[in-house]
Structure 1
């Protein structure tokens, strides 16, 4: 039987959501959902059981003396961007600052940050630079289960295990990824709001050549329905994950992530897998395949024109009056 989840007084957003199923590892529906590319919270996988004792003190004493990738934001939102694309947009303002800090330096910033200001978020690949105890804990992960899922579902290679440590109140705005992800929670609680890839038209992503590619332009706290009218039609799914929970986060599913108040911080580890081989294309195309095709077409047009200023007019000329309804 699935364990009970902790309840929180959660912020309400202006769109309906359904609860993502929380299922036992032995429930046949669990593997059916993973195979179908649908999100599910697995409550007892034991995937990161060997790390559930991790806290800031333990990590500080054992993770190593190297530098760690930390992001700093003046507000609660941590919107990712591609540094390689920044020069394309002269007026682009970076939504967060990248810092390289030792773990004690990060912990100090985390503990001394003023409420609502200078929030920090550590994101570091668990690699050979970490200490022996962390390596032992890492090797103790339930690799047999997650590798079995990788093989059964024909995922590609494991690309990284990312250690995430955030402050309560941190928000990663809505975006989608191009890899499969088993998101394992170790400490604290996170709220996930997900949207099916078929909601693409409602989410208004930035262009592929924009630094915030794969991010939604819509501010969930204050949606601009004049600019983004279809956002009124969006429908989501949500869940709260706590220590020991694993959320299967399928590729191309939009997700916003919020660190909830509990321990003052959250600790998580991701298991990222490349997409598997395409195989025979089956028609009609799935929403995920359509998103992939749109991305490839947009990239091709950008490469051919080699001028971002021309792209909006080019795209509009291709569609307006030909594939849009005439005014009423």
Structure 2
């Protein structure tokens, strides 16, 4: 039995007015298929190009190991040269991913290959982030700390995306004081006997191909799996909804610091307690 997911709506292209009316205001996701064909990046950006232009850069890598109390916030598990990493991606499946790689800081000339589109939202000009993954690598189900509006531009290969809005929290086994669900849930092939509340979750799905743009509304949960090796770029705009904006400030100023303090104080017991609470609170809420 699969998750209860509807296909994310798709449009070939879209005006700012239609995007605002049909997707931003109602906070619904959409895939725009042919929005960036005039960008140099559309024809230039692939793994070979990134290897040629950034091959000597040392990049931070992450895999799918569970969170450990000793791990710092977004601390990488491994590092290697970008050229070596891309060779690895192309030669064999690997769990190693790159995320939140700031191209303005790392390879400023890549800025010349794209522009900041006008969707009627003020995009953060300093934060174009790249994400890379090998075949079958995936992120944990999570939402972003700032609950931003995210425009996710995919390059090379195919990527599976599963989204849920914040109204589904009660069914997703959310970890308290965190931005993730239980890490042992396989959202690609969920075990409903172990995680029965997932049957009640209502979400969205799509597969992104080269040049397509996915809009993820404020605070949407997302799980990304690379069906083939590839990479994406995210542009973001701050949350406009006052409640979600306040939640973003709380996450950044209070929640993150509290969680880090408890890791230092209680170690792995804190992580274990949070994992237990995810189950206890989910079933308590449901009852």
Structure 1 segment 175-214 matched on structure 2, within 5 A: 175-177=142-144, 178-208=147-177, 213-214=179-180
TM norm structure 1: 0.66
Does the 8 A contact of 2:47 with 2:230 survive in 1? no
Does the 8 A contact of 1:208 with 1:214 survive in 2? no
Does the 8 A contact of 1:17 with 1:236 survive in 2? yes
> Which 4+ stretches in 1 moved above 6 angstroms?
289-296, 302-307, 309-313
Q: Which has the larger radius of gyration?
A: 1
Partner of residue 6 from structure 2, selected from 2, 6, 18: 18
Quote how far apart the aligned CAs of 1:30 are. Answer: 2.7
In structure 2, what is the equivalent of residue 35 of structure 1? 25
User: CA separation in 2, counterparts of 1:172 and 1:310?
Assistant: 22
User: CA separation in 1, counterparts of 2:286 and 2:250?
Assistant: 18
Question: RMSD of the alignment, in Å?
Answer: 4.0
In structure 2, what is the equivalent of residue 167 of structure 1? 134
TM norm structure 2: 0.74
In structure 2, what is the equivalent of residue 233 of structure 1? 200
| Structure 1 portions without partners, runs of 5+ | 1-12, 89-95, 282-287
User: CA separation in 1, counterparts of 2:216 and 2:157?
Assistant: 19
Asked whether 1:49 is paired with 2:39, we answer: yes
- Return closer, same or farther for 1:22/1:224 CA change in 2, 3 Å cut-off: closer
User: CA separation in 1, counterparts of 2:39 and 2:163?
Assistant: 25
- Return closer, same or farther for 1:168/1:270 CA change in 2, 3 Å cut-off: same
SS of 1:58 mapped into structure 2: helix
| Structure 2 portions without partners, runs of 5+ | none
Instruction: Determine which structure has the larger helix proportion and give its number.
Output: 2
In structure 1, what is the equivalent of residue 120 of structure 2? 149
- Return closer, same or farther for 1:289/1:86 CA change in 2, 3 Å cut-off: same
- 1:42-73 per-residue CA deviation (whole Å, 9 max, x = no partner) reads 223228822122222222222263311222x4
Equivalent pairs counted in the alignment come to: 264
